[in-house]
Amino acid sequence: MPSSPLVLESAHIVCKRAANMSLTQGFFCINKHKPWIETTYHGIVTENDDKVLLDPPLIALDKDAPLRYAESFEVTLTEEGEICGFRIHGQNVPFEAVVLDKSTGEGVIRAKDKLDCELQKEHTFTIQAYDCGEGPDGTNMKKSHKATVHIQVNDINEYSPVFKEKSYKATVIEGKKYDSILKVEAVDADCSFQFSQICNYEIVTPDVPFTIDKDGFIKNTEKLSYGKEHMYKLTVTAYDCGKNRASEDVLVKISVKPTCKPSWQGFNKRIEYEPGTGSLALFPSMHLETCDEPITSIRASIELETNHIGKGCDRDTYSEKSLHKLCGASSGTVELLPAPSSSANWTVGLPTDNGHDSDQVFEFNGTQAIKVPDGMVSTSLKEPFTISVWMRHGPGAHEKETILCNSDKTEMNRHHYSLYVHNCRLILLLRQDPSEAENYKPAEFHWKLNQVCDKEWHHFVLNVEFPTVSLFVDGSAFEPFLVTEDYPLHASKIETQLTIGACWQENSGHDNDTETVSEPTSGGSGRMAQFFRGSLAGLMVRSGKLENKKVIDCLYTCKEGLDVQLPEEVASAFNPNQSSLTVEGDDIDAFDKVMQHISYLNSRQFPTPGIRHLRISTTVKCFSEESCVTVPDAEGYVMVLQPEEPKISLSGIDHFARSAAEFESQEGVKLFPELRIVSTITREVEADTESEAAEGADDDPTVQETVVSEEIMHNLDTCEVTVVGDELDGEHESLEVDMSQLQQHGMEMSSSNLGLVITGVNTMANYEQVLHLIRYKNWHTEALFDRKFKLVCSELNGRYISNDFKVEVNVIHTASPVEHANNAMVQPNFINPIHHASVDLSGHNLVNAHQASVVPSAATIVIVVCVSFLVFMIILGVFRIRAAHQRTMRDQENGKENEMDWDDSALTITVNPMETYEDQHSSEEEEEEEEESEDGEEEDDITSAESESSEDEEGGEPEDQQGASRQQQLEWDDSTLTY
């Protein structure tokens, strides 16, 4: 029987019972409808959670869902109306949809893995719902439409703020309050606005004058001072809006810069100069700070202050006469203020600066004056002449102050010519000699100059070629502003007196500017007037020729000064003495380079040590005059270090003997035949190699340097030979030198009864050559046994002085045969005359006498002995008197010198052979000598030219090794004598 379908229609559900099924077995429904879901869903999920909160909730509805009938009958429900699942569409969707209740269609969306908001904070995908299909096997499954799902991933505060920089730096200028100095910035890796935002910054370092706002801007709370703190170090942290603190705090350095002050920067105030090293850059790293002000031009003046060194700067300190020759002046120059010496002693009483490092200057305090010896200057006012002088003079009083004056020596007060200072004026008085025409002629030349009374050293040169007088001050020419005239002087035979520092005049009370004849006064005496107050040096008078400009500039030019090699784009100017330099330019960079090339140079071999102050004065012009900067003066100093001073050593034969005939000859005796002049310096040097240094360290670790002596060459300017003991007697002795040789070397010689002085700048070799030619002559040697001399040489006008080299020369007298009236006194004919070859007395060497071969009788021997003894006693008495005189001289000269050289090339000595024989064999003479010693006489006092060798044997003072090795005694052959 076919089954009859039972149709249950309720809520559009159609169910059928199968034909082979009983009623109790149930019904099945037809899957007629699709599930239904919302079209759009919005969800939220947290990073650390997998459950998504959807709005609206995820629910799928299906119309095929069966009705539930009453309990009166049982209906088996089919699955066609149930929701079996949801499907998500999209690539790499990290979510899944799960059905919670099939019958109700309720489901959820959840994350399959842990979500990361920082990687993706929003997800969008589609979803569909599926029902369970028809029948038991779920065929004909239907699906809903696709719905869009938007899910937002909520952030958690998992990251802390991190600063963008490892550290922060800033520079501020002191004294200024800033609105913002710098900004620090931190970032947060969280994805949400709340947790990724930095809500606060904080300065961790306590008690600092800074604050920071929420945006990270740091500013100072008070004005900063560079003197208080050069740099501040702050520790800063940050907080995000979730109150997480930065993982690491950051360091902030804030430097405080001094207020920008325009100035020269980058140079050392102390600059050391090593003598002999050439040019030294003074400002190698210097630059001008203008504080970014636009500059249109710069002008800088660099001044090297050297007015405290010598006569205004470092110059060669040779005598003024030598300097004139070095500068090319011709002969005829007379130095009126020489350094005191035996031949130029008129400046002995004047106070000096006592400085050997710099120039020799003389001080005049208004009470001293000196007379120049007669004949030193023979200036004729009719021919050209030059007066040059170094002068330092203050304002002084209003009286006349005389530098140089030539006035009448007696009776009158006429000033023939004079150079004086009056009210800051330099005045030359030049009165003409008598002439036929008694007309007015120029007599006084006036110059009004600041240099006359500014208390600084200045060099004055007056070229006088009447009626024209030219004045040069520090190399610059000046014309007189006033010339007055006067009558020529009246004819007179009165001698004149040349004085320095005042004017000589008769003590009569008359005006010394007139030529009125002074009234004779009984017992009247001359006096000085118009005294000078100041310092003078190098006063020279040169007759017959004027100084040219080249020589004048040479005399004034310094040996030290500023030097620079300037590029073309920068202008510059030097002053005449190179002690100041002016630099101008408009480019700051180029200007700095020029300043860096300015150097100090001192060309002296032995510079004057000490400080030279430096000053840089700068003027700057700007585009805006109102805001133009002012550059203060920069000051420093050059320290010239002490030069290695030379040691001048004189050596040679210092003790020798010559025959009287040589002293009396036309040539005389050479005093310094083997003189040697050597100059050395001592310096410390390091070890040559590292190995030597290492070896030295092993032996003595404290030894780092070695002292060595090194010979150097330099000039001498004076050598003075003085007599030790009695002065030279001009009637019978003199010191002479070949004048042609002196002139050939450009040297000069002055002599007196005290010795002689050779002057002139020249090499040590030339001085040696000239000194070898000095000869001592004595044409009255009967009473002379020895003479002593001392030689001293110097450099730079006495700055470096040699040792005192003393020479003692002995006179060897030749004993002549004595004619006796008594035949008994005559030498017996059986004794052969003693013949001598050229006897070498060098080093006290005596050649043995020839031996006699004749045998004398005993009576003859007794006679000869008696006569010889008598002669011996007479000579002995005379020699003792002379020896006493010599001993007194030796005590004054502190003994003999070390070496002795004997030259007897022209010497013939007659030796009594009995002296040696009697000294060795005669007991009678020994008894006589004992008697003489009892009378208070000493054998050591027997000294004479004839007995030099015996004196050396008895005196006991050793001679040099060469002489000692050659020393011999005269021997008498007594083998044939009978007693």
Domain shared by 247 and 290, yes or no: no
pLDDT digits 0-9 by tens, 558-588:
889 998 876 665 666 555 557 888 888 888 8
The answer to the question of residue 140 being in a domain is yes
The answer to the question of residue 938 being in a domain is no
Domain shared by 370 and 488, yes or no: yes
pTM of the entire predicted model: 0.58
Helix (H, G, I), strand (E, B) or coil at 517: strand
Domain shared by 545 and 588, yes or no: no
Domain shared by 332 and 475, yes or no: yes
Residue 927 has pLDDT above 50, yes or no: no
What is the model's pLDDT at position 688?
Answer: 53
Domain shared by 735 and 657, yes or no: yes
Domain shared by 386 and 425, yes or no: yes
What is the model's pLDDT at position 238?
Answer: 94
Phi/psi of residue 682, each to 5°? -115, 130
In the listed set 130, 154, 178, which residue is the last one of a domain according to the structure?
154
Total domain count for the chain?
5
pLDDT digits 0-9 by tens, 54-85:
889 888 888 776 543 333 334 444 455 688 88
pLDDT digits 0-9 by tens, 369-380:
998 888 787 756
Domain shared by 69 and 196, yes or no: no
What is the model's pLDDT at position 954?
Answer: 39
Domain shared by 371 and 289, yes or no: no
Residue 717 has pLDDT above 50, yes or no: yes
What six digits make up the tokens of 220? 């100072």
Whole-number Å distance between alpha carbons of 639 and 612: 6
What is the model's pLDDT at position 933?
Answer: 41
Neighbour tally for 194: CB within 10 Å: 13
**CA 17, 18, 22, 23: dihedral to nearest 10 degrees?**
0
What is the model's pLDDT at position 783?
Answer: 79
The answer to the question of residue 84 being in a domain is yes
Q: Kindly give, in sequence order, each residue whose CB lies less than 8 Å from that of residue 662, ignoring residues fewer than 6 positions away.
A: 668, 669, 906
Q: Kindly give, in sequence order, each residue whose CB lies less than 8 Å from that of residue 833, ignoring residues fewer than 6 positions away.
A: none
What is the model's pLDDT at position 318?
Answer: 80
What is the model's pLDDT at position 573?
Answer: 59
Whole-number Å distance between alpha carbons of 734 and 910: 30
In the listed set 257, 280, 296, which residue is the last one of a domain according to the structure?
257
Share of the chain above pLDDT 90, in %: 25
The CATH number of the domain holding residue 481 is 2.60.120.200
Q: Measure the N-to-C terminal CA separation of the chain; round to a whole number of Å.
A: 210
Lowest mean pLDDT: which of 368-372, 582-586, 886-890, 934-938?
934-938
pLDDT digits 0-9 by tens, 38-59:
889 998 888 878 888 888 988 8
Residues 586, 296 contacting (CB under 8 angstroms)? yes
* Planar angle of CA 354, 359, 363, nearest 5 degrees: 55
Residues 562, 302 contacting (CB under 8 angstroms)? yes
The answer to the question of residue 852 being in a domain is no
Q: Which residue has the tokens 């360091």?
A: 251
The answer to the question of residue 869 being in a domain is no
Q: Which helix (H) or strand (E) holds 427?
A: strand 425-430
Distances (CA, A) of 390 to 71, 333, 452, 456, 662: 151, 15, 11, 10, 48
Domain shared by 222 and 293, yes or no: no
Q: Which helix (H) or strand (E) holds 410?
A: none
pLDDT digits 0-9 by tens, 633-654:
999 999 999 988 899 999 999 9
Domain shared by 296 and 364, yes or no: no
Q: Taking Cα atoms as reference points, which of 388, 349, 353 lies closest to residue 371?
A: 349
Lowest mean pLDDT: which of 270-279, 316-325, 862-871?
862-871
Residues 126, 97 contacting (CB under 8 angstroms)? no
Residues 154, 53 contacting (CB under 8 angstroms)? no
Q: Kindly give, in sequence order, each residue whose CB lies less than 8 Å from that of residue 73, ignoring residues fewer than 6 positions away.
A: none
pLDDT digits 0-9 by tens, 775-809:
999 988 887 888 999 999 998 878 889 999 999 99
Domain shared by 591 and 458, yes or no: no
Residues 742, 758 contacting (CB under 8 angstroms)? yes
What is the model's pLDDT at position 180?
Answer: 93
The CATH number of the domain holding residue 83 is 2.60.40.60
Mean pLDDT estimate for the chain: 76
Write the DSSP assignment of 950-962 as a string of letters: HHHHHH-----HH
The answer to the question of residue 888 being in a domain is no
The answer to the question of residue 629 being in a domain is yes
Confidence of residue 197 (pLDDT cuts 50, 70, 90): confident
What is the model's pLDDT at position 686?
Answer: 60
Domain shared by 628 and 530, yes or no: no
What is the model's pLDDT at position 379?
Answer: 56
Residue 13 has pLDDT above 70, yes or no: no
The answer to the question of residue 457 being in a domain is yes
pLDDT digits 0-9 by tens, 224-263:
998 899 999 999 999 998 888 999 999 999 999 888 888 9
pLDDT, average across residues 867-887: 73
In the listed set 124, 154, 184, which residue is the last one of a domain according to the structure?
154
What is the model's pLDDT at position 653?
Answer: 92
What is the model's pLDDT at position 883?
Answer: 64
pLDDT, average across residues 157-180: 91
Which structural domain, as residue segments, surrounds residue 656? 647-685+707-812
Residue 429 has pLDDT above 80, yes or no: yes
- The DSSP 8-state label assigned to residue 878 in this structure reads H
Residue 882 has pLDDT above 90, yes or no: no
The CATH number of the domain holding residue 611 is 2.60.40
Helices (H), 366-524: none
